[in-house]
Amino acid sequence: MSTGVLADLIAGLPDGMVVTDPAVTEGYRQDRALDPAAGKPLAVVRPRRTEEVQTVLRWASANQVPVVTRGAGSGLSGGATALDNGIVLSTEKMRDITVDPITRTAVCQPGLFNSEVKQAVAEHGLWYPPDPSSFEICSIGGNIATNAGGLCCVKYGVTTDYVLGIQVVLADGTAVRLGGPRLKDVAGLSLTKLFVGSEGTLGVITEVTLKLLPAQNASSIVVASFASVQAAVDAVLGVATRIRPAMLEFMDSVAINAVEDTFRMDLDRGAAAMLVAGSDERGRAGTDDTELMASVFADNGATDVFSTDDPDEGEAFVAARRFCIPAVESKGSLLLEDVGVPLPALGELVTGIAHIADERDLMISVIAHAGDGNTHPLLVYDPADTAMMERAHLAYGEIMDLAVGLGGTITGEHGVGRLKRPWLAGYLGPEAMDLNQRIKNALDPQGILNPGAGI
């Protein structure tokens, strides 16, 4: 591309918005998936307003330049991997938010962190439920792009359940408003939901209207250790058939010991698995929930059961679960999985992953949003060991094949990105894959939006 073409983009935007300094653009090449195939972008553009995003996409469309939209770079599937001779459109400067306590909605730009949205709405006695483990460092735009879930999604659902409306800029620069602060609206197709989970392949979301709930009640936490993984899985199923907890999380022995090695939280190093469960019901209902969960855990062979209503004490155990990925990452490089299965198949999935770990001679830790069957196997490898890296990539695919064979999915909340794209067509099947591609072609006929990721 000629320097004159890029100069046209620079001239059409405010000073400093287009960054070409390689020392700066280097930091925008990868997300946390650390895709080794990441390219070197021509520039990073950091708009503040929808109109500026329109300018970028009109220019990109006219010059057939690929555009990768980036939030906070916390993604785990390579969905924000830069391309050679492309543009990275970073939403980090798009940080406005307005809260309406009457409609219980927030209208915000995509660059805000999930935690910042939570803080802003809490000032009005409201709550935004989706809570990925990375909620302090992930953006709302990225959450929408992947339809992120989190620890409380077993009861409160995932991102799409809270997106009432969006403003999106299409590949040709057209800005479209869809939905809004209305709880009921069936006029036209449900296009708002089409863009949730689309990983920047259909348009660039520049504003979102979020549904909010009244502030969450304080949670009571129940923690249990188990001598076997199967006992812990049986306990999960036992709880799920009786109540809907606000949280039901799983950690295996690798995760427990990695967290203990790194953060010294006095966890049971001898346990094969640990469950962290919670109830946010008020009064007697909450007490009944915690007593029931403790009883189910004990009946299924828990070696230790601990309950607490103390917020700080409970948050310490929740934090232990949130710390799992960085703790296991301290053991080596990671391939992070995100497979999910129907809850009755959870035991077969976890057992099958252990078999794959043995067959491939790998350390694979399994953590999970156990209450909804969404697991995060963490494959540890040494990047300097070529043979180990190859075994890890083989296991990565085998875990997806295992999940699909059990009626599950290749990704529950992290997205397809670039890392899982080779498995997408096989998972969807030819008819569904063709339908996805027809929608993509209709909205992005030149294929400039995040090519090679998602669909």
Query: Is the Cα torsion angle 389, 391, 394, 400 positive or negative in sign?
Result: negative
Q: What is the pTM of this model?
A: 0.95
Half-sphere exposure of 332 (CA within 13 A, CB side): 18
**The CATH homologous superfamily of the domain defined by 220-405:** FAD-linked oxidases, C-terminal domain (3.40.462.10)
- Say which residues have a Cβ less than 8 Å from residue 235's Cβ, sequence separation at least 6: 224, 226, 275, 296, 297, 300, 301, 302
Between CA 349 and CA 342 the distance in angstroms is: 10
Question: Which phi and psi (to 5°) does residue 257 adopt?
Answer: -70, -30
- CATH class of segment(s) 97-214: alpha beta
| CATH 3.40.462.10 location in the chain | 220-405
Q: CATH 3.30.465.10 residue ranges in the chain?
A: 97-214
Amino acid at 423: W
Q: How would you write the pLDDT of the chain (455 residues) with one tens digit per residue?
A: 556 789 999 999 999 999 999 999 999 999 999 888 999 999 999 999 999 999 999 999 999 999 999 999 999 999 999 999 999 999 999 999 999 999 999 999 999 999 999 999 999 999 999 999 899 999 999 999 999 999 999 999 999 999 999 999 999 999 999 999 998 999 999 999 999 999 999 999 999 999 999 999 999 999 999 999 999 999 999 999 999 999 999 999 999 999 999 988 889 999 999 999 999 999 999 999 999 999 999 999 999 999 999 999 999 999 999 999 999 999 999 999 999 999 999 999 999 999 999 999 999 999 999 999 999 999 999 999 999 999 999 999 999 999 999 999 999 999 999 999 999 999 999 999 999 999 999 999 999 999 999 98
Which positions ≥6 away from 151 have C-beta within 8 Å? 131, 133, 247, 249, 318, 321, 322, 369
CA angle 438, 147, 335 (to 5 degrees): 95
Contact between 448 and 67 under an 8 Å Cβ cutoff? The reply is yes
Backbone torsions φ then ψ of 336, nearest 5 degrees: -100, 120
